[in-house]
A and B are shown apart, each in its own frame.
Chain A
Amino acid sequence: MKKKEWIAMILAGGQGSRLTLLTKKIAKPAVYFGGKYRIIDFVLSNCSNSGIDTVGVLTQYQPLVLNSYIGIGSPWDLDRKKGGVTLLPPYVNERGGEWYKGTANAIYQNINFVDEYDPDYVVVLSGDHIYKMDYSKMLDYHKETSAEATIAVIEVPWEETCRFGIMNTGPDGRIEEFAEKPRNSKSNLASMGIYIFNWDILKKYLVEDEADPESSNDFGKNIIPKMLNSGIRLFAYPFDGYWKDVGTIESLWEANMDLLKEDNRLNLFDPKWKIYSVNAIKPPHFAGATADIKCSMVGEGCVIHGEVRNSVLFPGVYIGKDTKVIDTVVMPKVMIGENVVVERAIIGLESVINNGCRIGDSTSGSITLIGEYEQLPQGTVYI
């Protein structure tokens, strides 16, 4: 196999258990976002747009939808003769086999895959995050600083530092200290879970980490602290764009709502950095004679006869007459009948909401969630 300068490994096996009903049958990276996409589209498009042509996707939890969605990678231009996208589920070998025990173990079990391309650098990414980033600039930084490992960091509000892995850096950007979810933090630079490693160094640490029975085989908890302790050159690469980990129903809803803001920093309309996706085969959406749509995003194939405010509609949604959909995320192929009010909610794939239902509560702080393939009979009130 021809040598590659760099390849990417995307961790996509997470369950995303806090997304409850939405991740019952699919892994978190396959969750719908933004009126068209699945979360993993962002990282795959970033790879493609950054010029990475070899990508391993590590799957474990409920991989069926993810596997068929990614396929051979053509939507992201990753169907290549050499490289391209490879799905890497756990497997058995002559000594038996095991599940991926942690993020580091997942890469460890696929050392052979990486070695086949003999890369100088390996980019380790998470399939759960929504952001646009040019990894080639991060690689330039990695080379300029002669780093052996580079971690992308983003400034987070000081009061939220206790939720993240926090980096304390020197003036040159070199990481001096790493604290996982610290109570009192000296810095507000949080790790984004985006790493570039020199492959020879990473491989050595993965093997060592695997030999340590005490380790939980995790990048944040084990690999990075071990590298730091033994004086490896670790640098923080500052990123100041939009970045969101949609771990919960609230943050998923919020990230969708962010797209509707005037000053939203995640520009999906940039022709130079398109987010690729499997496109629905549907005609343009239709706004009927009684439709009233404002401050919203609407996907193809929708048919709208009611009022839509501040909402995100995925392809193939139907909204009947005299219905109001406000502050809501409506996933693909949902049917909403007539005379329905939906507020502050997420409606899962292909659910049917019959006439006269009342869903969600505008005064409440929380988000009402309707799961996938639900059928709500006429007149249901669900808050």
Chain B
Amino acid sequence: MLDYMGIINLNEREDNIKGLTGHRPLAAVPIAGRYRMIDFALSNLVNAGVQNISIFTQNKYRSLLDHLGTGKAWDLDRKNDGLFIMNPMYDYYNLGIYRGDIENFKCHMDYLNFSKQNNVIITPSNMICNLDYWEAIKQHNETGADITIIYKKADNCTVDFQYCNTLEMDEYGRVERIDINFGNENECNVSMDMYIMKKSLFLDIVNSCVSTGYCDYFREAVYKYLHKLKIFGYGFKGYLACINSAYSYYKTSMQLLNMDISKELFFKNGLIYTKVKDEPPTKYKENARVINSLVANGCTIDGQVENSILFRSVKIKKGAVVKDSIIMQNCSIEEESRVINAILDKSVRVSKGKRIIGYADNPEIIEKKAVI
């Protein structure tokens, strides 16, 4: 059995994607027609055989809990191990002030101590990819690294992966520098914020941060230990998207209309699991005209849809036109209306004849349950 536990650390920046994270964490943002962001991180771990997975949340976690349930959809409703959700503990002493993920790890130290596995994989939820951890673990064992950070060598860093950490490595792959991508250079090694290490080391880092007050964030701790520990990079070769802004969300979604990318993302090293909704197949009516689009189950389409993603149970009425847009679950686009370059959150109704038109580099985001 794989001697690894998985930690999904939801300590993620949401300030550039506020339109979609007002009432949900980034991890619970709907994506790709029927998934939530966290499905990728969860499925990658499950597909690698990790059976003990904990999710360290920040706040606004109601919709995330609803999505995860008992973990059954990911086969994580287990007698031994399975899925654990670690919400921040607010108590009298910290006055409800969030002090970074280190504090959250500290509060749940019992769980970390009691877990049987001797190694840990830490991952965020906003790195969208289909990744085989076995390859990374293999390299981790071969190099004898204390920590292996998974990164992706990208050639579009001036536009994508803004504010992600970047790594600089020596010829043996040892990490020498950690920086932030401000978009100055095209080529960069984007840190995927995925760490592989011994659990004992992870606990040491957390404990020493807590006792010295040296660092509040795990990322910060790794940075500070850079020259004390043997930290190596593992280069991931597949498709990667980092979703940390409304623009990157929109751009990534549109990339999924490329079947080569979709195929890799949904099938390559294992399937991506999500909560099932028991919707019927989508119904195309006689005026339907749908091209270059991803369409989930339960939709009823009688209008025109182009270069778009329709989530479950979307209704497109006769004469409506949807172009270059993302339409989330339960939206209704009524007769003769137009939606272009827009992201419609769940249950939005665009009434008859109305128009929502955004820009390709700045899509219009419509709030959940809005009536236009």
Contact = CB atoms under 8 A, between A and B. Distances in A.
Interface of A: 34-36, 74-75, 260, 262, 268-269, 274-277, 279, 281-300, 303, 308, 312-314
B124 interface: no
Interface in B258-275: 259, 262, 266, 271-273
Nearest to A289: B292
A35 B278 contact: no
Nearest to A282: B266
A279 B72 CA distance: 13
B253 to A, nearest CB: 11
B286 interface: yes
B283 to A, nearest CB: 5
A284 B280 contact: no
A75 B275 CA distance: 12
Contacts of A296: 283-284
B346 to A, nearest CB: 15
Contact of B266 (A35, A283, A290, A298): A283
| Residue of A282, A285, A308 contacting most chain B CB atoms (<10 Å) | A285
A53 B102 CA distance: 46
What are the 9 tightest A-B residue pairs by CB atom distance, in nearest-first order?
Answer: A284-B33, A35-B281, A268-B280, A284-B296, A279-B276, A297-B281, A284-B294, A299-B281, A287-B290
Contacts of B34: 283-284, 300
Nearest to B287: A294
Contacts of B285: 262, 294-295
B295 A298 contact: yes
A284 B284 CA distance: 14
6 contacts: A283-B33, A283-B34, A283-B272, A284-B33, A285-B295, A295-B285
B291 interface: yes
Contact of A313 (B32, B281, B293): B281
A276 B280 CA distance: 9
Contact of B293 (A74, A286, A300): A286
Contact of B280 (A36, A74, A286, A288): A36
Given A294-B286, A303-B259, A35 B280 contact: yes
Given A284-B294, A299-B297, 4 more contacts: A279-B278, A283-B34, A285-B295, A288-B291
Given A287-B293, A292-B289, A298-B295, A281 B273 contact: yes
A284 B277 CA distance: 13
Contacts of A308: 284
Nearest to A295: B286
B351 interface: no
Contact of A283 (B282, B284, B294, B298): B294
Given A293-B288, A294-B286, A303-B259, A287 B281 contact: no
Contacts of A312: 281
B121 interface: no
A268 B286 CA distance: 18
B280 A269 contact: yes
Contacts of A268: 280
A297 B283 contact: yes
Nearest to A292: B289
B300 interface: yes
B321 interface: no
B33 A287 contact: no
A308 B283 CA distance: 12
B309 interface: yes
A275 B290 CA distance: 26
Interface residues of B, number: 36
A36 B298 CA distance: 11
A77 to B, nearest CB: 10
A34 B292 contact: no
Nearest to A35: B281
B297 A300 contact: yes
B310 interface: yes
A297 B284 contact: yes
Contact of B282 (A276, A277, A292, A297): A297
B262 A283 contact: yes
Contacts of B272: 281, 283
Nearest to B301: A293
A109 B281 CA distance: 39
B278 A269 contact: no
A348 B366 CA distance: 43
Given A284-B32, A284-B296, A293 B281 contact: no
A293 B280 contact: no
A347 to B, nearest CB: 16
Contact of B294 (A75, A285, A294): A285
Contacts of B298: 269
Contacts of A35: 280-281
Nearest to B297: A300
Interface string B303-336: 0010001100000000000000000000000000
A262 B276 CA distance: 27
A284 B310 contact: yes
| Residue of A74, A75, A268, A279 contacting most chain B CB atoms (<10 Å) | A279
A293 B284 contact: yes
A228 B179 CA distance: 86
Contacts of B280: 34-36, 268-269, 275, 297
A335 to B, nearest CB: 14
Contacts of B296: 284-285, 300
A9 B321 CA distance: 49
A36 B279 CA distance: 9
Given A295-B284, A300-B296, A287 B278 contact: no
B261 to A, nearest CB: 11
Contacts of B284: 293-298, 308
Contacts of B300: 269
Contacts of A282: 266
B74 to A, nearest CB: 11
A6 B288 CA distance: 46
Contacts of B289: 292, 294
Contacts of A295: 284-286, 288
A284 B291 contact: no
